[in-house]
Structure 1
Amino acid sequence: MIADNICPLSLGEHLSEEFGKVNPLRKVPALKDGDFTMGESNAILLYLIRKFKTPDHWYPSDLQKRARVDEYLAWHVTTARPGTSKLFWLKAMTPYVTGHEVTPEKLNAALCEFKTISTTIQDVFLQDKPFLVGDEVSIADVVALADIGQVSKC
């Protein structure tokens, strides 16, 4: 079992020397498993799946199914996450940090980008399937839900 520890970003704990020993990039999430440390959410997910026996649907052993999970994860990191992060920052964090709303033009541009991301997820990845890469949930769905769910809350 790996214990969890909340690191409040608003307090800047992730910038501390102590946190830097866990993740030199000083970003969350980070993982410390004994003497082993690492960062990056997708890499952490893959590490945990490989370390602990998990049902096959999370990260399929079938080469082609696994490739579809990997394909989504790669697309998500390069396209979906930057777009959802931008919208989250403009809608929620910028007003919180600065006390000012962003301009409607900036917000509308980010909303258009988010709509394109949502359409791509629906049309390219989901299609007529219940989950992103087939009939069972995988880590691709967890990754998608984490970022899209964050945006839908703000």
Structure 2
Amino acid sequence: MGLDLYLDLMSQPCRAVYIFAKKNGIPFQLRTVELLKGQHYTDSFAQVNPLRKVPALKDEDFILAESVAILLYLSHKYKTPDHWYPQDLQARAWVDEYLSWQHTALRSCCTWAMWQKMMFPVVLHQLVPQETLSYTLAELDSCLQLLETKFLRDQAFLTGPQISVADLMAITELMHPVSTGCQVFECRPKLDAWRRHVEAVVREDLFQEAHTVVLKAKDMPPLPAPTLKEKLLHSVWILLQ
């Protein structure tokens, strides 16, 4: 028995956990849970995570859910480089501040942007009113502005001169609207430079590997089964909690 990570790389936080583990050479067994097939609703997965969400971690007899908790557990157990989650009180507090903010801000608008631009109309055959989409994209733009002015400022990374788990959580969120054609980094040179810094530290090949699934999502065939559609609609509400 060893470390098992239950992931679906369609999921933003799953990608963050995957990149973190791979980048830091943490040995793990990937247990893929395909959300679009409803595999998180199976009884077998409920034994791992009764919340029926990914990511989830199983380390011998220890089970853990929630992406931030998993990232911090891995950073402590495997003693990853300090910059990921600093020991310095104030540096760590800045990482915590970003992680607390993004959960109800960037995560929400990035998820809705993908679902409203692609998943609802293309996969689920449900039209989204233009005013609803326009509101979501305006919210996304406001979050991008805050990323630049509040968090990034004149630094290379969101919370300081080195990459942290905050940057992984942010970049994987932003790739959701990017996958639908949103020009997230266009006309934002500071944010684009940050993206290139993150990709360079992570390694471009690993970054692309982690995002292959989501970047191909636009080619996904429609889902015919009404019951699965209902479950997916329920899933998006869970994702936004």
Question: Which range, TM-score by smaller chain?
Answer: over 0.9
Q: Which residue of 1 aligns with 2:215?
A: none
- Indicate yes or no: 2:131 matched with 1:105: yes
The alignment's TM-score, normalised by the length of structure 1, stands at 0.95
Paired residues of 2:114 and 2:179 also in contact (CA < 8 A): no
In structure 1, distance between residues paired with 2:121 and 2:78: 41
> TM-score scaled by structure 2?
0.62
Q: Aligned equivalents of 2:160 and 2:86: distance in 1?
A: 11
Q: Is residue 2:96 matched to residue 1:70?
A: yes
The counterpart of 2:78, out of the listed 52, 72, 91, is: 52
* Partner-residue secondary structure (3-state), 2:52: coil
Structure 2 residues without counterparts, runs of 5 or longer = 1-26, 181-241
Q: In structure 1, what is the Cα distance between the partners aligned to 2:122 and 2:78?
A: 39
Question: What are structure 1's unaligned runs of at least 5 residues?
Answer: none
Give the deviation of 1:87 after TM superposition. Answer: 1.2
Which residue in 1 is equivalent to 2:45? 19
| RMSD value, Cα | 1.1
Candidates 114, 117, 122, aligned match of 1:96: 122
Instruction: After the TM superposition, list the runs of 4 or more consecutive aligned residues in structure 1 that deviate by more than 6 angstroms.
Output: none
SS at match of 1:132: coil
Comparing 127-136 with 99-108, which one deviates more in the overlay? 99-108
For 2:71 and 2:174, the matched residues in 1 are separated by: 18
How far did 1:101 drift? 3.6
Per the alignment, residue 118 of structure 1 pairs with: 144
Tell whether the 8 Å contact from 1:2 to 1:33 is kept in structure 2 after alignment.
Answer: no
2:160 equivalent to 1:131: no
Identity over aligned residues, as a percent?
44
Question: For 1:43 and 1:151, how far apart are their aligned partners in 2?
Answer: 25
The within-5 A match list for 1:79-94 is 79-94=105-120
Letter in 1 for 2:175: G
Structure 2 letter corresponding to 1:85: T
| CA distance, structure 2, for counterparts of residue 127 and residue 78 of structure 1 | 21
Instruction: State the alpha-carbon separation in 1 of the partners of residues 49 and 109 from structure 2.
Output: 24
The amino acid that maps onto 2:36 is S
More contact order relative to length (CA 8 Å, sep ≥ 6): 2
Question: How many residues end up aligned between the 2 structures?
Answer: 154
- Equivalent in 56, 77, 97 of residue 30 of structure 1: 56
Deviation, 1:27, is 0.7
